[in-house]
Structure 1
Amino acid sequence: MTSPFSSKPIHEAAQRGYTSASDNYQRGRPEYPEALTAWMSGTLGVTAGSRVVDLGAGTGKFTKLLACTGAAVTAVEPVDAMRARLSESLPGVSALAGSAEAIPLADESVDLVICAQAFHWFANAQALVEMHRVLRPGGRLGLVWNVRDESHDWVAAITEIITPYEGDAPRFYTGKWKRPFEDQTLFGPLTRTVFPHSHVGSFDQVVIDRILSVSFIAALPQAEQRSIEQRLRALRDRFPELRAETIAFPYATEAWLAERLGAA
């Protein structure tokens, strides 16, 4: 059986922002810590031959990591520009148009569903039903986010600049993404593992490109984006570490796991 659902409209900030910012996304988004590979193989259970869906795969940042495990990876991404970038960089991976509410795969056809930097966009009951449908009994759902470490004053200053623009765009930090897991019987309890991480590169790469790739920033008119860029560059006058040739932008990588419950 295929999905009984139709795809929900993509949030405007994601559709507009990620369509226009796929280049910035590819350049500015951090990779994932090496320790996450051990988490995937040990805790999540990714092995060579595992049937894995990378849901909300974007440009393939996380897909690339999955492909290195030898798993049979299918990337599902609704934004055409992002999916095209993924197919260009990972021609051996099957990249399908689809969404969390309408995954173009058969019932119980995969061992694992993983959402990296994505689940907060489609955290709803319909998405959980659909993930449950495509997972085999006992299959697992993995959720991964690279989260800026705002215990550093200059990282907090960056957040202070961009937060007023977020509008109603879903955000990981609010914790609202956890609500669909409450009072449901499709998945077991969420468990969390945290890894320290950093994105090392030039100021333009790890700050400017990274922030301009944020969905609700990328969706703004060019004049407002330039204004935000100027404010970000001005932070180098306040924080000497941002004037270094190479910057290590601190993150915490949060990896969450839930197991599929019940029979089909």
Structure 2
Amino acid sequence: MDADERLLHASSFGTAAVAYAEHRPDYARAAVRWALDPAPGPRVLDLGAGTGKSTAVLAARAARGADVVAVEPDPEMLARLRRSLPAVRALPGSAEAIPLPDGSVDAVVAGNAMHWFDMAVAGPEIARVLAPGGVLAGLWNVMDDGVDRVAGLAGVAGGAVVGPRDTPAAWRAETAGMHLPRSGGAARFGSAGRAGFPHGQRRTADSLVATLATRAGLLVMPEHEREAALGRIRAFLAGRPETERGESTLPLLTAVLRTRRL
């Protein structure tokens, strides 16, 4: 994906902020614990926070001393975050222009957002706001295509819906060093660690279609193509015993990519 296409996809979510907040999954608590485990202190920045899916999980740690601030560039997504989490400090800004002082956080977390960052610019910015020894962690929810029905859904949905980070093997290949800064100006980042944690989301056929409809590939697609893709997904789900009636759990993994500022 070139820079213009990445910008088009990255800026598409504001039009679906309400649906995004309603339908996107949160993140496995165990994944967040692992991401933050090496952090030298409690101050956490949720960068590219969207409507607050990862922010809510981070804020739940406040009782154990976490201090969370969220930064989000899209006004519609930021407004939704502020309404749903009024106790969290939420600021306009981006990975390339973080509105925080030098060394002001102990961890930077990005929930399903790091692949949109321009790391040539964002790397030094993230290093700037991180305290020495601070953690940078990306979280992604990926569909567990080791389950037959998930693999079938991925095949029917196509690449616009199930993208290059949306299954475990694809995520490992796509994140093999390309999303982490190799340096942050004068600061350096260590080697990356990876881990995956079981997760799931209760969905009906209709709510699963609504969830998939918030993917960037569909949001930027011409309407007739989008409706055709969603029609194929509905037909597939109607023929599966797990989703032809009622709710079932969509098997997910929360995948984590973690490094430290040296």
Q: Name the TM-score class by shorter chain.
A: 0.7 to 0.9
CA separation of 1:22 and 1:44: change in aligned 2, threshold 3 A: farther
Aligned length: 248
- State whether structure 2 residue 254 is matched by structure 1 residue 253: yes
Distance 2:197 2:48 in 1: 22
Q: Match for 1:114: what amino acid? A: V
Q: Residue 69 in 1 paired to residue 68 in 2?
A: no
Aligned partner of 2:205 in structure 1 is 203
CA RMSD of aligned residues (A): 2.6
**Does the CA contact (< 8 Å) of 2:127 and 2:261 recur in 1?**
yes
Matches within 5 A, 1:2-21: 11-16=7-12, 18-21=13-16
In the alignment, what sits opposite 1:52?
44
One-letter code aligned to 1:51 = R
How does the TM-score come out when normalised to structure 2? 0.84
Residue in structure 2 matched with residue 179 of structure 1 by the alignment:
178
Q: Counterparts in 2 of 1:1-264, with a 5 A limit?
A: 11-16=7-12, 18-40=13-35, 43-45=37-39, 50-70=42-62, 71-122=66-117, 124-165=119-160, 171=165, 173=170, 175-177=173-175, 178-179=177-178, 181=180, 184=183, 186-205=188-207, 207-261=208-262
Q: Distance in 1 between matches of 2:29 and 2:180?
A: 28
Distance in 2 (CA, whole Å) between partners of 1:38 and 1:171 is: 22
Q: What SS does the corresponding residue of 1:138 show, helix, strand or coil?
A: strand
Q: Distance in 2 between matches of 1:179 and 1:142?
A: 14
Identity of aligned residues (%): 37
- Equivalent position amino acid for 2:21 in 1: Q
Structure 2, unpaired ranges of 5+: none
Note if contact 1:101-1:126 (Cα within 8 Å) is conserved in structure 2: yes
Q: Deviations over 1:116-173 (max 9, x none)?
A: 111111152221111001101111111111111112233223323443437xx87563
Relative contact order higher in (CA < 8 Å, ≥ 6 apart)? 1
Give structure 1 stretches of 5+ with no counterpart: 1-7
